[in-house]
Amino acid sequence: MGVACLALLLAGAACSRRGHDKSVKQPLPVLDVGGATAVPHPSPTSSPPMMALPESPPPAGKSARRGGTLKVHLEAEPPHLNPLQDTLQVIDRVTSGLVYETLIECRGDRYLPGLADTWELSADGLRVNLHLRAGTHWQDDKAFSGIDVQATLEHLMRSPARSALLHAMIADLEGVDVLPERAVRLRLLRPSGLTLRALCEIPILPAEPLRTGGSRLAQLGRAPLGTGPFRVAGWERGKRIKLVRGRSLDAADSPWLDEIVFEIDADPAHALTRLRRGEFDILPRVSEVHYPEQVSQATLRDVLDLHVLTPHRYSFVALNTRRGVLADKDFRHALSLLWDRQRFASEFHHGLVRPIGAPTFGAAAADKFDRDQAGRLFEQAGFRDTDGDGVRDVGRAPIRLTFLVPAGSRTLGAEVRAFAMDLRRAGILLDTASLDAASLFSRVEHGDFDMAALTWEGRGDEDPRLLLTGQGEFEYTGYRAERFSALVDLIRVAPTPSARAPWLAQLAELLAADRPALFLYRHDVPMLVGKRVHGLAAFGDRLDFHSVWVDP
């Protein structure tokens, strides 16, 4: 299951993932090397190329063996393991595709069978009929049925507070009917291809605890009960979560592994040390603090491989377009020209980010740093220094903006200070306000801000309304445009990913032109994998363990 999630650039996360390197390096290009994808690290370091994992598992060779245990680092302890209660990545990492399954799987432009093996959309676009896979059972051996699908979707329809993102995905769903012959019907309020897309994201849970509630539902968060290839066999708080194979080895869809153990460790330095000691096999995210110095060829030796994950995770600076000068399109354009993405990508992010000009569902080019052009735009819009003090003004008041920064976010703070220096040279004052995460987010929600850094994490083909409309994060910018609303409606009714693609591209171009936010970077993620691990695949940053096998 994929989960799109808004995240402030929180102090702890920013500090653990980002380091500072005064040398200026170009962002790392992705090259084709003998049929594999590699990202070469620039000299003079001796880090090996970062290889991209395949999206689909490679065929198992004759040397593949059944059984064994795979140990994977988990960067935080989940509060629970109920993916319908909170859309947290740490829950998704443990349960998605392993314990719980979705009705449909999305891979690029394709919809693939999941718990539903076939589906049909009615001619008027108001009904979706799904035929459920035969022979599916819950891990307590009870038969899976349409009642479970109905209970899951109805639970989300009536629980917007706890499952806001999943609830928003099915905003066009009116009801669910259970039909004979292992079938269910989704009734829609209006034609919506995005409802079918949502079925790739929503894990199906058993009906009984969802409808009973209380202690039965709470128990599901501690001891999940799914239809997936693994079941939760133990959870040592603060230490590890253990999954064991839930299907016999001779079953056609049985995983190769006996066990997957998620080792919980919130300290990225300690996790890297444990990986080198062989205490686990996969470190899904190498901290930028440790990249590239701690992943040199000598450090990795012959026991670890360096890979790169390419999630649709991007950062942007929300601009409050309801406030003064930020309502002016030329002023926002000038601000974008003054954020030196190329230099900052190298100086603050070690080349692990790629500058963008719009959300990653499009391909709009990023604005290149140009102080002279920014100055001309300020002048063109009437923002001039009328009193000769070096600061542009409006109504004789100097133009002064405030950037909200999470407390303790050293790297983000340094990047904003560098931006502020370029703004000052262009005649604009920028202050920073360091706030704890809750206070910062509260101010953003209530529109009490000028600029604030946010990130979005999801899939490129996900429902863009989760970010852009309703309670989406672009609501905080106050941005409105007729063309924007029209494109969102066209995206909603498009029946397939390929049909949505041109409208998404136009939407990205519109946002790139109007700049209700400064779109900054798409973030790549380096990861380390032990050489004893084979058959690993990834889609974005979601690892596919189903065909993984390990050497003894």
Question: Residue 74 forms beta bridges with which residues?
Answer: 264
Contacts of 513 (CB under 8 A, 6+ apart): none
Separation of alpha carbons 164 and 159, rounded Å: 8
Question: Residue 403 forms beta bridges with which residues?
Answer: 432, 451
C-alpha distance from residue 387 to each of 334, 375, 391, 427 (Å): 21, 17, 8, 12
> How distant is the alpha carbon of residue 325 from its chain centre?
32
Domain ranges of the chain: 68-99+228-309+525-552, 100-221, 312-523
Strands 537-539 and 400-406 come out as unpaired
* 181-220 residue pLDDT tens: 999 999 999 999 999 999 999 999 999 999 999 999 999 9
CB 536 within 8 A of CB 545: yes
Which residues of the chain, if any, have pLDDT below 70? 1-48, 469-473
**Helix or strand (DSSP H, E) at 376:** helix 371-380
Q: Which CATH architecture has domain 312-523?
A: Roll (3.10)
The phi, psi pair for 45, rounded to 5°, reads -70, 165
CA angle at residue 429 from 427 to 431, to 5 degrees? 165
Given this model, what pLDDT does residue 25 score?
29
The pTM of this model reads 0.85
The topology under which CATH files domain 68-99+228-309+525-552 is D-Maltodextrin-Binding Protein; domain 2 (3.40.190)
* 105-117 residue pLDDT tens: 988 778 999 999 9
With tokens 């470190």, the residue in question is: 283
Say what angle helices 482-493 and 497-514 make with each other, to 10 degrees. 170
3-state secondary structure of 218: helix
Comparing CA positions, the residue from 248, 252, 249, 258 lying closest to residue 141 is 248
CB-based contacts of 323-332 (< 8 A; 24+ apart in sequence):
323/450, 324/394, 325/383, 325/394, 325/399, 325/401, 326/401, 326/450, 328/381, 328/383, 329/514, 329/515, 330/377, 330/378, 330/380, 330/381, 331/377, 331/378, 331/381, 331/383, 332/514, 332/515, 332/516, 332/518
Given this model, what pLDDT does residue 46 score?
52
CB-based contacts of 238-243 (< 8 A; 24+ apart in sequence):
238/77, 238/264, 239/263, 239/264, 240/264, 241/74, 241/78, 241/81, 241/94, 243/94, 243/98, 243/99
Q: Does domain 100-221 have CATH number 3.90.76.10?
A: yes
108, two tokens:
């690029």
Separation of alpha carbons 284 and 29, rounded Å: 21
